[in-house]
Amino acid sequence: MNNQTTFQWLTAALLLCLLAFQPLPAADNQLYHELGGQPTVDRITHELLDRILVNEKIAFLFEDTNREELHEKIANQICMETGGPCDYEGLDMIEAHSGMDIKYSEFDVFVSDFIAAMEAAQVPYRLQNRVLAIFAPMREDITYE
């Protein structure tokens, strides 16, 4: 292996390490307030339920719950995860979705509706991304794949 090739391997290995071991995001306590507090959280939840409960690809996942109960659970969790003054009292992500056999594609459809809900609630793009950054790592706990 000549020097140039060695250098290339080292550079690539270093970049891969940087990509692989980036630190987890620090707790984002300001986010709840930047979003606009509970009114925005309720608005996002409302818009989200308007979509997922009629979306033929995922609506069946919510058949066993009523809308009020679902609203409370989801709003409560968005509040808590964005640093708001709420204590999430429901099951954790694994327990809450166990036995539901949620596929990656169904999770992705939910995320698309969630993005559309934030858009409808007029959440600015960069705040949307910060919310997604909190929930994205939960995919493995929510899905069964």
Partner 1 sequence: MKNLFFLLCLLWTMQAYGGSRQLGTGAVMQIEGASGSGIVPWATIAGYGESDETDITAAYTFLDTDDYEFEAQGVAVGWLNRFEISLARQSLDLVTLGPAIGLPGATLRQDVFAAKVRIAGNLVYTNMPQIAFGVQYKKNKNFTIPGLVGARDDSGVDYYLSASKLFLAKPFGFNGFATVTLRSTQANETGLLGFGGDLGSRHLNLETSLGLFLNSSWAVGFDFRQKQSNLSFASESHWRDVFIAWIPNRHLSVVAAYADLGDVATLSDQQGFYLSINGSF
Distant-in-sequence, close-in-space partners of 41: CB < 8 Å, separation ≥ 6: 32, 35, 75, 78, 79, 82, 84
104 sits near partner 1 (criterion: CB under 8 A): yes
102 binds partner 1 (CB under 8 A): no
Distance in angstroms (rounded) separating the CA atoms of residues 77 and 107? 17
101 binds partner 1 (CB under 8 A): no
Residue from 80, 93, 111, 120 that binds partner 1 (CB under 8 A)?
111
Residue 139 as a binder of partner 1 (CB under 8 A): the answer is: yes
Who contacts 114 (Cβ-Cβ below 8 Å, separation ≥6)? Answer: 44, 48, 132, 135
Residues 6+ apart with CB under 8 A from 53: 59, 62, 67
Under the binding rule (CB under 8 A), the answer on residue 60 touching partner 1 is no
* Span from 37-45, 67-75, 79-87, 132-140 in contact with partner 1 (CB under 8 A): 132-140
Footprint of partner 1 (CB under 8 A): 5, 8-9, 11-12, 15-16, 19-20, 22, 24-25, 57, 103-106, 108-109, 111-112, 115, 125-127, 129-130, 132-133, 136-137, 139-140, 145
